[in-house]
Amino acid sequence: MRRGLAGLVVGILAGAALLADASDAVKAELARERRRQVSDSKSLSDTSRRLETALNQLASASRSVADAAARTDAPPDEIVRREDAVSESEQEVRALLEKRRLLADRIVERRRSIIALEAELQTKKPPDAVSGRWAVTLDPGALRGVFRMTLDGAIVTGDYTLDGGYSGSLRGTLVSDRLRLERVDSLLGFSTVYYGRVARDAASIAGTWEATTFGSGSASAGVWKAVREEEREENP
């Protein structure tokens, strides 16, 4: 029993830690992407200024060639030298244009990433993802019953009744859409662990179960499913 309770505590803490770690990881990546965007924006601004200077130099070099060509006394070597200067300016302009294009593309991707990360942080699991009354079927054996569960953050608590007079408490964790429940029977003690996946519409759960006690002659593992029911008022 103590081992079961210790395992339950570890499971709860692990589930909460996973949620915190996931959120912290998203926040850290968002901060990194914002820093990268600032750095890329500064680089783009610097590259744009360098490109403007290079374009002015190219225009000046081109005019210089035209001026030399128009002069009848300009030696051929002078025209060649000025044309070489034009070629150098053209190469620098092409390199800066390509760098500017790559930076602009990267900034677009950074902004898309930031929007996605911000949306992920704002997305919250519906508070009623598992809270409520569920009609449960356990196989093998088609054992039927009811789970009543409440979700508080990542922690799930509740109680159950099953065919055959079984009843007791439920406790576990919900991480993303993954549910882990431990069943503590009023007579048998910690008897079963349930693993399940909550459907996208939070209307059903399906998964597997494992017994924690052996030697009873019953199945030690199987599958289970649950379908959400509307809450019913209990008779006083």
Do 167 and 89 fall into the same domain?
no
| Domain-located, residue 5 | no
Give bridge partners of residue 122 from the DSSP assignment: none
Scored b (16 or more CB within 10 A) or e, 154-173 reads bebebbbebeeebebebbbb
| Domain-located, residue 13 | no
Residue 209 DSSP SS3: strand
Angle between helix 2-70 and 76-122 (nearest 10): 160
Confidence of residue 212 (pLDDT cuts 50, 70, 90): confident
| Domain-located, residue 8 | no
pLDDT exceeds 50 at position 9: no
| Residue 116 tokens, joined | 């996605």
| Domain-located, residue 1 | no
As for how many domains the chain has, the answer is 2
Do 101 and 37 fall into the same domain?
yes
Q: What percent of the chain has pLDDT over 90?
A: 49
* C-alpha dist (Å) from residue 45 to 25, 42, 103, 107, 224: 30, 5, 10, 12, 60
| Domain-located, residue 9 | no
| CA–CA distance, 227 with 72 (Å, rounded to integer) | 95
Reported pTM: 0.46
| Domain-located, residue 10 | no
Helical residues (DSSP H) of 71-163, grouped into ranges: 76-122
Contact 133, 230 (CB under 8 A): yes
Do 142 and 216 fall into the same domain?
yes
Last residue of a domain, one of 122, 139, 154: 122
| CA–CA distance, 26 with 32 (Å, rounded to integer) | 10
Report the pLDDT value the prediction gives residue 166, as an integer from 0 to 100: 92
Do 29 and 94 fall into the same domain?
yes
Do 112 and 139 fall into the same domain?
no
pLDDT (tens digit per residue) in 149-161: 999 888 999 999 9
Contact 15, 181 (CB under 8 A): no
Last residue of a domain, one of 94, 122, 150: 122
Do 154 and 116 fall into the same domain?
no
Domain range for 190: 126-229
Q: Identify which has the larger pLDDT, 25 or 214.
A: 25
Do 59 and 142 fall into the same domain?
no
pLDDT exceeds 50 at position 72: yes
Q: Identify which has the larger pLDDT, 9 or 224.
A: 224
Q: Specify the CATH number for the domain of residue 168.
A: 2.40.128.120
Average pLDDT over residues 48-54: 93
Scored b (16 or more CB within 10 A) or e, 63-92 reads ebbeebeeeeeeeeeebeebeebbeebeeb
Greatest alpha-carbon pair distance for the chain in Å reads 115
Do 89 and 137 fall into the same domain?
no
Do 130 and 225 fall into the same domain?
yes
Do 90 and 66 fall into the same domain?
yes
Give bridge partners of residue 225 from the DSSP assignment: 137, 206
